Amino acid sequence: MTADALSPSPVAPAGLSRRARAFVEVDGIRVPRPDIRRLRTAWLGLGIPGAEIDRATAFDDRWGGIALPPAPFYEGGPHVLGADLPEGSAAEGWSFPAGSCRVSMAYGFVIGPDGAFCIDGNGCSRTPLHAGVEGWVESLALASHARRWARTITTIKGKDVESLDLGGYEPVPEVQGLTDSWWRGKDSLVALYRGEAVSFGAPRCLEAHVYGGLDEWGLRGG
């Protein structure tokens, strides 16, 4: 094992913004994880297609063992990123876990058939939050940055979220928003968390965080 493999400091995977790279490398840590390649034969014996095992292995090579600070919603998100046993079928598509939960929850975090970062679980339909795990990490980095620089932080819940006026705002593209999204205005950032509301059919679970009083650095941070 190389010295780098033993380092607790993660190296941010390619493709992230400067802000997200700094977040991963400064605020994240790397913890040891077993190589899931040792499970390939057993997983093939369970009828899991080799291509899906390869997809999970590629994710684990890129993200496995990276632990990031908690998200401001979804009970903090995955504690440590890493793939595990793929589940699904040819008809419904295959997904695999994206990492371990921090607390006991009704759902987990998975990478869907198209690579989207999703929530999925008991009583919860698979709902894509971001088009990829990179979008999830960008969202974490932006939340961390916005909390540090905002003069005001306002939380809006339930049906009041639908009354938010986002005219004049633009979507933040790096978060790859699907069900969830971030919006940038002239002096504020807005994070919309819709995943639980969509998954459970529960509008009361809608939540938005408005970070106000931001200057140009606060709005972008790299």
Q: In the chain, where are the structural domains located?
A: 3-136, 141-220
pLDDT at 3: 37
Q: Where are the alpha helices (DSSP H) in 76-191?
A: 133-149
Q: Specify whether the CB–CB gap between 16 and 137 falls below 8 A.
A: yes
Whether 1 has a pLDDT exceeding 70, the answer reads no
pTM given for the model: 0.94
pLDDT at 112: 97
Q: What is the pLDDT of residues 32-84, one digit of tens each?
A: 999 999 999 999 999 999 999 999 999 999 999 999 999 999 999 999 999 99
Which residue has better confidence, 98 or 2? Answer: 98
Q: What is the pLDDT of residues 93-143, one digit of tens each?
A: 999 999 999 999 999 999 999 999 999 987 678 999 999 999 999 999 999
Q: What is the pLDDT of residues 4-28, one digit of tens each?
A: 455 788 999 999 999 999 999 999 9
Residues 6+ apart with CB under 8 A from 132: 115, 116, 117, 176
pLDDT confidence tier of residue 200, bands split at 50, 70 and 90: very high
3-state secondary structure of 133: helix
Q: What is the pLDDT of residues 146-191, one digit of tens each?
A: 999 999 999 999 999 999 999 999 999 999 999 999 999 999 999 9
pLDDT at 2: 39
CA angle 81/222/153 to nearest 5° reads 75
Which residue has better confidence, 133 or 1? Answer: 133
